[in-house]
Amino acid sequence: MVSAASWLSSVWTPVAGGVTAPVGFQAAGIAAGLKDSGKPDLALVLAPEAAVCAGTFTTSVVRAACVDLCAQRLQASNGQCRGVLINSGQANACTGDSGLIDSQRATQALADHLGLTSDQMLICSTGVIGVPIPMKVLLAGLDPLVEALAEDGGAAAAAAILTTDLVPKQIAVESEIDGRTVRIGGMAKGSGMIHPDMATMLGFLTCDAGVPSEAWQVIVQRAVQRSFNAITVDGDTSTNDTFLAFAAGDPLLSDQYEQLEQGVTLVAQHLARSIARDGEGATCLIEVRVEGAASEADALRMARTVCGSSLVKTAVHGRDPNWGRIVAAAGRSGVEFDPEEVSLWIGDHHLMESGQPLDFDRPAASIYLQQRSEGRYLDNDTVLIRLRIGSGPEEGRAWGCDLSDQYVRINADYTT
């Protein structure tokens, strides 16, 4: 998976434990029988008392009932929620009235097991759209799931939420804030149907610092814009995508929120990069940096457009430094800029300066692309594309992956 050590700042350093690294959090993951494969498929993350939760959700109008249920409960409780149940194998989307009924039954039954009220519990589902949860199986799995809750259960939970993912995705970091240690943990799933405005991804973050609900929501929303809303695999947005972030602990002062937000953003970006790197059929991660933009929104918009271009993605897969596809994608991003000010690099290879093409070593640039695909989950498997579009003060980054024939094979046979 994407290396945490190469990505984090000197202020936030990696530690073990995933979502259970922060003090007071517990998690579990078991094989309940929801998947025919026998792999883990049911997870639970439980926050301490007085936790607040912030969430962001799919922008699709076709939404799974669990998404609406989570959003409604967060709004009604001002973010006062204790945990989330996650089932893998069935999206429980487009399943009619039973979708909401089953989500409500599951959270009520879990709350009863934990001695909580149902409105304190959230639920996320992932899997095939149109397939309901086998409720008898899920309900039978709640006893062993609750029994498995542990302060070191982060890895088990991260494994239980996967679908077509090849690897679990988790991280934890810590930092000193005004003399105290603060930890942030995270886990996510996602491999296909990934595009900005969220996608078939689930993400969960935990933090052992206290933050008021309104401030926490702002921090989380900004982090999502710079992470999960800045990745793309295939241009499709899904029905179930959800990111939930829990915070519980001794309160921080408002002037300490900036350092906390840096940590939240780093964790979210690491998970987002891991999803993009694990894109179905992918051989490398693509990072697009846009510099010199008038606003961060413009930079992000252009970076996402370039990352999402099928022509750029296939060129990277073919180890073809076809830079014309990159500037063409930038030009249709909807961002206003002067083409005569554009400079472009692939890795260290300078291909364009002030709108003019440069002579460059095409075979060497192709070798750069080739080297990034020779081994999966290595620190050097990122293809860096850098665009400077002017002298503006802002920049933005987005992440994607190459597009291979394997992606077609995976998705052509997904339900058959």
- Residues marked active site are found at 200
Region for residue 182 given its phi and psi (left: phi exceeds 0; alpha: psi -120 to 50; beta: otherwise): beta
Are 183 and 174 in contact, with CB atoms under 8 Å apart?
Answer: yes
**Dihedral angle, C-alpha 275, 174, 224, 200, nearest 10 °:** 30
Beta strands in 103-149 (DSSP E): 121-128
Both tokens of residue 224? 């999502």
| Helices of type H across 115-243 | 135-147, 154-160, 213-225
Please state, in angstroms and rounded to a whole number, the distance separating the CA atoms of residues 303 and 329.
Answer: 9
CA distances from 408 to 192, 281, 282, 413, 414 (A): 11, 8, 11, 9, 10
Q: Which of 59, 141, 72, 142 is CA-nearest to residue 100?
A: 72
Phi, psi torsion values for 389, nearest 5 degrees: -110, 5
In order, the DSSP letters of 238-268 are -S--EEEEEE-SSBPPGGGHHHHHHHHHHHH
Beta strands in 342-391 (DSSP E): 343-346, 349-353, 356-357, 382-388
Please state, in angstroms and rounded to a whole number, the distance separating the CA atoms of residues 196 and 190.
Answer: 13
Phi, psi torsion values for 146, nearest 5 degrees: -65, -40
Counting every residue written for the chain, the total comes to 416
Instruction: Name 177's Cβ contacts closer than 8 Å, sequence gap at least 6.
Output: 209, 252, 256, 259, 260
Residue linked to tokens 């990505």: 7
Are 209 and 249 in contact, with CB atoms under 8 Å apart?
Answer: yes
Please state, in angstroms and rounded to a whole number, the distance separating the CA atoms of residues 137 and 51.
Answer: 29
**Dihedral angle, C-alpha 151, 223, 239, 128, nearest 10 °:** -40
Residue linked to tokens 């000010």: 341
Both tokens of residue 274? 């891991």
Both tokens of residue 287? 């990072």
DSSP summary character for residue 18: G
